[in-house]
Structures are given as C-alpha cells and as structure tokens.
C-alpha cells in the first residue's frame, strides 16, 4: 500500500487572483513527489503546503506558457537556498532545457543539485518505475502541450496465510512462488497459486490535462482514471472563448470525464473572472456524477478502489 495525495498549489488560469495562484499540482506518492506544472510564484504554496524541499522528485511541464513553467526558476532557486542535494528529472517539450539553462545563465544562479531535463518528443511512456509509470499524450492548445497520466501497476492479490498454514506449506520460497502466481507441488500434491492468493488488486490511475480543448484522443488516454484533473477555464456561456483560446468549459471537462468512465473529476485552471466556482461545478455536475472544484492548497487523498 502506498499513500497517495494531491495538493493543488495553484488553480488559476493566466493571471493569479487574491485566492488563486498559477497552475501547479503536487502528487505525493509514498516517499516521492511528482509535480505537474510550475506557474509563477508557486513555491510559496509549496512551502505553505508543508512539502519537503529535499524529497525525491520529478517535475512534468505540460506546455511552455508562463503560467505553467516560469515558476520552475523560482522553485529551483528556493530549493537551492534550502540546500537541496538530490537531483531532479524535469520532463517537458524540447525547448524547456534551453529556457531553463538560458535563464539560469542570465540570472546567474547555480544549483546545489543536478537537474536532468528530459525532452518529450512523442507520446507514450516517459517514466517507468518499479510500481508505476507516467505516460503523456498530445493535448490541443495554442502551443504544443501534453497531458499526463500516472498509472500504478496492479499489486499482487492478498496472500491467505491461514490457508497456506492449514495446508502445511512452510514459509519462504514456496510462499514467494505462490505470491508470484506460480503453482507449487508440496507433500505430493499440487497447490495452485489461486488457492492461496487472491486476484490482483488494481493500481490507481490519475490523469492531468494541462491546457487543452477536449479531444477523443484525451478521452481514450484518460480511460478509467480514478481521478482526472481537467482544466475548466470557462463556464458554458463562454464556449466560444474556450474554442478561440484552446481551453475547455466545465461542461466539456465533464463530458470527457464521462466518456472516459472516470470515477472522480476535479476541475481546475479557472479564469480570473470566477470569484467562486459553484457555477462551473453545477454545469459539470449535470453531466458527471462526481465533480469537485480544486482550490489552492486543497488536498485530495486517492484511495485504492477496494479501500474506498
Ligand atoms: Zn494555462
């Protein structure tokens, strides 16, 4: 079991407001922090949220608009001042590295840790760890933009120790074989793994849209997400504006969440015109049954399906 929670560090689009900072989402999974986007000034909420500056960390940038990537510079500098030592992998489109290196050169700051900028040139899996992967999919915005999904691999089923003991199987190698799904022969009889080990337990899948129009491609990419965070810049009466600017309305976010059979939809990236988001939630809730609006420093725990 790995604990997983999201913290919204910025939920405004384009310009910050009194209540909302610019786009940034921290996903804390066990000992690791995965950060999606870093709008200007996001490190303030990073600190307010009590997130550790020296944690194992990966950063994913959806696109090269200021409200999604300029905050990287401030965040890195703050980490440097805090004496961070661990290196960070940063994923984004090919110009991200030049943006970072040039700014760091001009501003003249050096880091106490390495940054490894990983260019994303095509869709697919970009991170594969022992128990999860991160993949990306082309979004549809005014500049090249990627959506991301974190998917955990299924965990083995529950091991029925009482049954294993009843059958007299000694602990050790034979237990491991059964846990891996292998059948064993013990005391002259075949014991099937399925007698002792339950069905694999589903991992969790989290989707993050970045800035985008809704597309069928994204609906497929976000299929069966436990939690989808989708941009919801406008209400329905601003549909044309959404189309013009490469953004989505709350209703469009909900439609894509419904198409993708997503369990829970969190709306974020609100236009500064909305002081509060009840209209957006109302419009989305008419389409999808489980909708919430993000707000700065909101924490959302992501449980395993069986636990919820
Ligand atoms: Zn944006």
**Per DSSP, what are the bridge partners of residue 148?**
136, 208
For residues 159 and 57, give the distance between their C-alpha atoms in angstroms, rounded to a whole number: 32
Q: What is the mean pLDDT of the chain?
A: 93
Query: Does 3 participate in catalysis according to the annotation?
Result: no
Ligand 1 centre to CA of 173 (Å) is 53
Report CA(67)–ligand 1 centroid distance (Å). Answer: 6
pLDDT of residue 308: 42
Choose between 306 and 57: higher pLDDT.
57
Higher pLDDT, 126 or 157: 126
Residue 68 Cα to ligand 1 middle (Å):
6
CATH architecture of 4-155+202-307: 4-Layer Sandwich (3.60)
pLDDT digits (tens, 9 = 90+) for 253-287: 999 999 999 999 999 999 999 999 999 999 999 99
pLDDT band at 48 (very low <50, low <70, confident <90, very high): very high
Residues 6+ apart with CB under 8 A from 2: 29, 30, 131, 152
113-146 pLDDT, tens digit each: 999 999 998 999 999 999 999 999 999 998 999 9
Percent share of the chain, pLDDT over 70: 99
Q: What is the pLDDT of residue 306?
A: 67
What mean pLDDT do residues 83-106 have?
A: 94
Residues whose CB falls within 8 Å of the CB of residue 227, separated by 6 or more in sequence, listed in order = 6, 204, 205, 206, 207, 262, 263, 264, 266, 300, 302
Query: 23 C-alpha vs ligand 1 centroid, how far in Å?
Result: 7
- The structural domains of the chain, with segments of one domain joined by +, span 4-155+202-307, 161-196
* Cβ(224)–Cβ(205) below 8 Å: yes
Q: What is the pTM of this model?
A: 0.92
Which of 67, 211, 263, 296 is labelled catalytic?
67
How much is the pLDDT for 156? 83
Structural contact between residues 174 and 184, judged by C-beta atoms closer than 8 angstroms: yes
* C-alpha of residue 62 to centroid of ligand 1, in Å: 9
How many Å lie between the centroid of ligand 1 and the Cα of residue 269? Answer: 7
For residue 58, the number of C-alpha atoms closer than 13 Å in the C-beta half-sphere is 18
| Amino acid 1: pLDDT | 84
Q: Encoding tokens for residue 33?
A: 């922090």
pLDDT above 60 for 182: yes
Percentage of the chain exceeding pLDDT 90: 81
CA torsion, ordered 56, 57, 58, 61, to nearest 10 deg: 180
Please tell me which residue, 199 or 147, carries the higher pLDDT value: 147
């Amino acid at each position: 079991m790995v604990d997983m929670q999201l913290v919204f560090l910025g939920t405004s689009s384009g310009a910050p407001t009194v209540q909302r900072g610019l786009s940034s989402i921290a996903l804390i999974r066990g000992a690791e922090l995965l950060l999606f986007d870093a709008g200007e000034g996001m490190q303030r909420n990073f600190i307010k949220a009590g997130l550790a500056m020296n944690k194992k960390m990966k950063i994913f940038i959806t696109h090269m608009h200021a409200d999604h990537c300029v905050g990287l510079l401030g965040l890195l500098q703050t980490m440097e001042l805090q004496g961070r030592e661990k290196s960070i992998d940063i994923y984004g489109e090919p110009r991200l590295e030049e943006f970072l290196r040039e700014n760091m050169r001009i501003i003249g700051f050096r880091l106490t840790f390495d940054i490894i900028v990983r260019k994303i040139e095509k869709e697919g899996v970009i991170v594969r760890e022992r128990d999860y992967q991160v993949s990306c999919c082309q979004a549809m915005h005014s500049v090249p933009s990627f959506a991301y999904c974190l998917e955990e691999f299924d965990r083995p089923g529950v091991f029925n120790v009482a049954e294993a003991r009843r059958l007299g199987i000694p602990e050790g190698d034979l237990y491991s074989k059964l846990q891996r799904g292998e059948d064993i022969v013990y005391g002259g009889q075949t014991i099937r793994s399925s007698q002792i080990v339950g069905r694999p337990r589903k991992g969790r899948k989290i989707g993050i849209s970045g800035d985008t129009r809704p597309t069928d491609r994204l609906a497929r990419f976000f299929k069966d997400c436990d939690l989808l965070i989708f941009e919801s810049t406008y209400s329905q009466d601003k549909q044309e504006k959404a189309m013009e600017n490469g953004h989505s309305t709350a209703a469009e976010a909900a439609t894509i969440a419904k198409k993708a059979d997503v369990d829970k939809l969190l709306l974020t990236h609100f236009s500064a015109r909305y002081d509060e988001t009840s209209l957006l939630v109302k419009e989305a809730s008419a389409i999808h049954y489980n909708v919430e609006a993000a707000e700065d420093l909101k924490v959302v725990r992501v449980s395993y399906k069986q636990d919820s």
